[in-house]
């Protein structure tokens, strides 16, 4: 019996895959498209660019692209759909990403980076304990852009801080509104003008790219806090740097960046920006769940079962 063939874009520690190693032939892609001969599944990560040219180069035998990550903006889903290739993701990162979102909300609001820099430079004295005054987070209005799994997980945490939760997205979520006591804002501009803290938790699409730009930044409160754990290109980083250097916004917390792993040098210079290297899902437990989800989709494809997290064809 011929073993099904899986091509992986990069070596990944997937224990469940190794457990099925006798039944699956695993090939490591290194630029040679001949490796795809007879392959049924391609396993990629959000760091791999699977564009229209790449998809055109792989043979018709490939039926599934199993992407490791919640987002799949690294894949040209339209091109994949046109070729009859299904795409799956691993939407199991909501709770861990929401944890990090709230870490950035609190660290940014309380000016943790600026105050830590004072401490590390040896400039902290008991006579001046709060060199950089923060702002209160509890009881404020939190505006969430994107009210899917992660956005709603952020909202659940916000209720513990007695926050007023408002949200904006492409569609209203009445059941989630009732459960989380959240209010839907039809326009982005209205939400930005109302929120004390803005959290970006939406997917990156043609419509949301640079959703935060020079124009929408001006719509925000001058002392607002901006947090992004979605995708880096949701923000025009040059516009954000310009706005913050001009004194607009009190702080920002960023886990994702427009041109990862490169970061706009202006962000590195700002004391009131808290930065993290895309670690929203970086816990051992979350990575185990991500791997299990990806492998379940791969095995389901090989065995003719229903995929557990197929993204919408486009």
User: What CA–CA distance (Å, rounded) separates 126 from 61?
Assistant: 69
Is 260 known to be catalytic?
Answer: yes
Q: Tell me the angle at which helices 94-109 and 112-120 cross, rounded to the nearest 10 degrees.
A: 60
Catalytic residue among 168, 258, 278, 296: 278
**Residue 81 corresponds to which tokens in the numbers above?**
């759909």
Q: What's the CA angle centered on 184, arms 71 and 220, to 5 degrees?
A: 80
User: What CA–CA distance (Å, rounded) separates 128 from 111?
Assistant: 15
Catalytic residue among 231, 258, 264, 296: 231
The conformation of residue 33, written as its DSSP 8-state character, comes to G
Tell me whether the omega of the peptide bond preceding residue 128 falls within 30 degrees of 0, making it cis: no
Is 231 known to be catalytic?
Answer: yes
How many Å from the N-terminal Cα to the C-terminal Cα in the chain? 35
Closest CA to 166 of 184, 188, 151: 184
Q: Are 112 and 133 within 8 A, CB to CB?
A: no
Q: How many CB atoms lie within 10 A of CB 197?
A: 26
3 state DSSP class of 1: coil
Catalytic residue among 248, 260, 287, 288: 260
Is 296 known to be catalytic?
Answer: no
3 state DSSP class of 146: coil
Catalytic residues, which ones? 231, 260, 278
């Amino acid at each position: 019996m011929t073993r099904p063939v899986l091509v992986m874009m990069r070596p990944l520690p997937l224990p469940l895959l190794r457990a099925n190693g006798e039944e699956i032939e695993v090939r490591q892609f290194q630029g040679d498209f001949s490796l795809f001969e007879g392959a049924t599944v391609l396993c990629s990560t959000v760091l791999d660019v699977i564009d229209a040219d790449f998809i055109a180069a792989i043979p018709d035998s490939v039926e599934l692209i199993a992407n490791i990550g919640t987002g799949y903006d690294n894949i040209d889903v339209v091109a994949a759909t046109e070729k009859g290739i299904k795409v799956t993701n691993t939407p199991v990162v909501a709770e861990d990403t929401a944890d990090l979102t709230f870490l950035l909300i609190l660290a940014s609001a309380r000016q943790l980076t600026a105050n830590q820099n004072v401490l590390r430079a040896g400039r902290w004295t008991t006579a001046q304990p709060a060199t950089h005054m923060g702002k209160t987070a509890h009881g404020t209005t939190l505006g969430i852009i994107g009210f899917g799994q992660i956005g709603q997980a952020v909202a659940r945490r916000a209720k513990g801080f007695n926050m007023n939760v408002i949200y904006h997205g492409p569609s209203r979520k009445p059941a989630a509104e009732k459960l989380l006591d959240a209010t839907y804002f039809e326009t982005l501009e209205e939400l930005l003008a109302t929120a004390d803290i803005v959290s970006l938790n939406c997917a990156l699409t043609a419509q949301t790219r640079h959703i935060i730009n020079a124009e929408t930044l001006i719509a925000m409160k001058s002392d607002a806090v901006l947090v992004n754990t979605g995708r880096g290109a949701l923000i025009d980083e040059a516009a954000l740097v310009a706005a913050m250097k001009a004194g607009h916004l009190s702080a920002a917390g960023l886990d994702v960046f427009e041109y990862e792993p490169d970061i706009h040098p202006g962000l590195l210079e700002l004391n009131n920006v808290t930065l993290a290297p895309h670690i929203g899902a970086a816990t051992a437990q979350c990575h185990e769940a991500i791997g299990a989800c990806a492998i379940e989709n791969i095995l389901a494809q090989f065995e003719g079962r229903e995929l557990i997290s197929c993204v919408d064809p486009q």
